[in-house]
């Protein structure tokens, strides 16, 4: 991609209402644009990040046998009356009357829709267990929104639903998803704490929140600095000790990014989602639900990984792997930049080439703001010194390397990502 043709531009000033770093930087960097209050367009740079987070989630779930599908964003209100949530969630539901008749709503979540599918397609214990997933847009009609992508009305969510024949199966699906979430956040590069809520009846935890400690978070958690165990606010206030190692807990602000939940049979019972068990009896399905706020993850990464110049994207979710900046427009500079650009794309390195007729200062500032992990500067000076100038976004030091060696600077990080996806069978 050539920066001169990129749809969406960096901005000098942050939005007036922006209070937090991720909001400022994602708008200034040209990643997102607010179309209406709490409703965002993802411009190409922002969409590439979204796409990569989405792909990591799909990969970790698919390798565990979770099946991907997509349910509608518009639901008939009648489905929501079956569970009583039409009334219960009234304050955040956006409903409308269709021109041809019928009342509909914009989905804030999908338990009703997936339970309707389950009662249609699951007949017998032989169909179980099953976990289905979608990465789908949601809408919550919140009165007030602020904080950029941290708190929006419309947002992209990964939401998976498990169906099992009994509590034991439900708890196994829960463990599988919880493990997947650890691996997902690991690959995304976020340092997660897990806050458990124990249920007396099931012997294990029936709900876990995946959170990242951040000063701009809206939740309060108590974290053990010894073993990183997280405790929710109520439990932490009662007994200021870590349940694992008995060390003192520290109060912190956190952003909730994911939630895994054992729902039991409540949805199946209210909607009549039953299956025939081995003993010939009809029984309600045991259900679990598992969600990650993908839009919010992007804000959390920008919060966790930035400096005063811009975002520092982790390799795994960066909009591009490499960013070439030309300084000057002499024939030798343009030729070398184009050579490196073609070669990197040929090697599978997604590369942005800043070919604009702009000052060196402006181009380098934009490169820092956008935060691509590997920066390559091509100038008359670098050519005279023997090649191109390489700098990693998270290091202060730049070095000049012959252009043939630029791949050696970039690939270790990129290859880690490829290995992650393909396993060790790659032989590299």
Q: Pick left, alpha or beta for residue 300 (phi over 0 → left; psi -120 to 50 → alpha; otherwise beta).
A: alpha
Gap between the Cα atoms of 21 and 149, Å rounded? 11
Q: Tell whether residue 64 is a contact of Zn ion (CB under 5 A).
A: no
Stretch that binds Zn ion, among 3-11, 61-69, 227-235, 347-355 (CB under 5 A): 227-235
CB nearer to Zn ion: give 182 or 250: 250
Q: Tell whether residue 242 is a contact of Zn ion (CB under 5 A).
A: yes
User: How many residues line the site for Zn ion (CB under 5 A)?
Assistant: 7
Shortest CB 232 distance to Zn ion, Å:
15
Gap between the Cα atoms of 108 and 90, Å rounded? 11
CB nearer to Zn ion: give 16 or 246: 246
Token pair listed for 220: 């309060």
Stretch that binds Zn ion, among 46-54, 67-75, 223-231, 411-419 (CB under 5 A): 223-231
CB nearer to Zn ion: give 163 or 222: 222
Stretch that binds Zn ion, among 149-157, 224-232, 324-332, 393-401 (CB under 5 A): 224-232
CB nearer to Zn ion: give 209 or 354: 209
Shortest CB 233 distance to Zn ion, Å:
17
Residues between 1 and 30 with contacts to Zn ion, criterion CB under 5 A? none
Long-range contacts of 92-97 (CB under 8 A, 24+ apart): 92/140, 92/141, 92/142, 93/141, 94/139, 94/141
Q: Tell whether residue 224 is a contact of Zn ion (CB under 5 A).
A: yes
Residue 148's contacts (CB-CB under 8 Å, 6 or more residues apart) are 18, 20, 22, 23, 24, 26, 27, 32, 299
Residue 87's contacts (CB-CB under 8 Å, 6 or more residues apart) are none
Cis ω before 129 (30° cut-off from 0): yes
Query: Could you give the 3-state DSSP secondary structure of residue 402?
Result: coil
Long-range contacts of 31-34 (CB under 8 A, 24+ apart): 31/298, 31/319, 32/148, 32/149, 33/8
Binding residue for Zn ion, selected from 209, 229, 315, 355, defined by CB under 5 A = 229
Q: Tell whether residue 249 is a contact of Zn ion (CB under 5 A).
A: no
Shortest CB 256 distance to Zn ion, Å:
21
Residue 166 — φ and ψ, nearest 5°?
-150, 180
Shortest CB 241 distance to Zn ion, Å:
9
Binding residue for Zn ion, selected from 2, 126, 244, 384, defined by CB under 5 A = 244
Binding residue for Zn ion, selected from 37, 245, 248, 380, defined by CB under 5 A = 245
Binding residue for Zn ion, selected from 36, 37, 227, 426, defined by CB under 5 A = 227
Residue ranges that bind Zn ion, judged by CB under 5 A: 224, 226-227, 229, 242, 244-245
């Amino acid at each position: 991609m050539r920066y001169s043709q990129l749809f969406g531009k960096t901005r000098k000033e942050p939005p007036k209402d922006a209070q937090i770093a991720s909001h400022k930087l994602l708008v200034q960097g040209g990643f997102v644009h607010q179309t209406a209050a709490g409703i965002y367009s993802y411009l190409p740079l922002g969409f590439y990040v979204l796409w990569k987070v989405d792909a990591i989630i799909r990969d970790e779930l698919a390798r565990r046998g979770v099946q991907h599908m997509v349910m509608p964003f518009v639901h008939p209100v009648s489905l929501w009356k079956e569970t009583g949530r039409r009334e219960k969630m009234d304050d955040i539901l956006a409903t409308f009357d269709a021109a041809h008749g019928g009342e509909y709503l914009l989905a804030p979540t999908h338990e009703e829709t997936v339970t309707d599918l389950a009662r249609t397609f699951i007949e017998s214990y032989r169909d179980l267990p099953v976990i289905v997933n979608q990465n789908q847009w949601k809408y919550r009609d919140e009165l007030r929104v602020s904080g950029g992508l941290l708190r929006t009305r419309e947002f992209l969510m990964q939401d998976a639903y498990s169906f099992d024949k009994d509590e034991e199966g439900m708890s196994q699906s829960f463990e599988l998803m919880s493990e997947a979430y650890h691996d997902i956040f690991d690959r995304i590069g976020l340092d997660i704490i897990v806050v458990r809520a124990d249920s007396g009846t099931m012997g294990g935890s029936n709900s876990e929140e995946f959170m990242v400690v951040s000063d701009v978070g809206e939740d309060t958690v108590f974290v053990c600095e010894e073993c990183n165990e997280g405790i929710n606010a109520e439990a932490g206030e009662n007994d200021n000790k870590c349940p694992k190692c008995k060390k003192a807990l520290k109060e912190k602000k956190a952003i909730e990014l994911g939630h895994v939940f054992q729902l039991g049979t409540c949805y199946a019972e209210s909607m009549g989602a039953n299956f025939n068990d081995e003993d010939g009896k009809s029984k309600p399905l045991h259900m679990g639900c598992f969600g990650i706020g993908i839009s919010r993850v992007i804000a959390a990464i920008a919060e966790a990984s930035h400096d005063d110049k811009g975002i520092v994207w982790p390799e795994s979710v960066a909009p591009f792997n490499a960013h070439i900046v030309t300084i000057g427009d002499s024939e030798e500079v343009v030729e070398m930049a184009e050579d490196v650009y073609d070669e990197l794309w040929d090697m599978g390195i997604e590369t942005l080439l800043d070919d604009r007729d702009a000052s060196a200062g402006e181009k380098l500032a934009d490169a820092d703001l956008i935060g691509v992990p590997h920066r390559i500067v091509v100038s008359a000076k670098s050519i005279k010194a023997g090649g191109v100038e390489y700098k990693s976004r998270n290091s202060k030091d730049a070095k000049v390397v012959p252009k043939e060696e630029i791949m050696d600077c970039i690939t270790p990080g990129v290859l880690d990502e490829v290995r992650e996806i393909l396993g060790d069978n790659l032989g590299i």
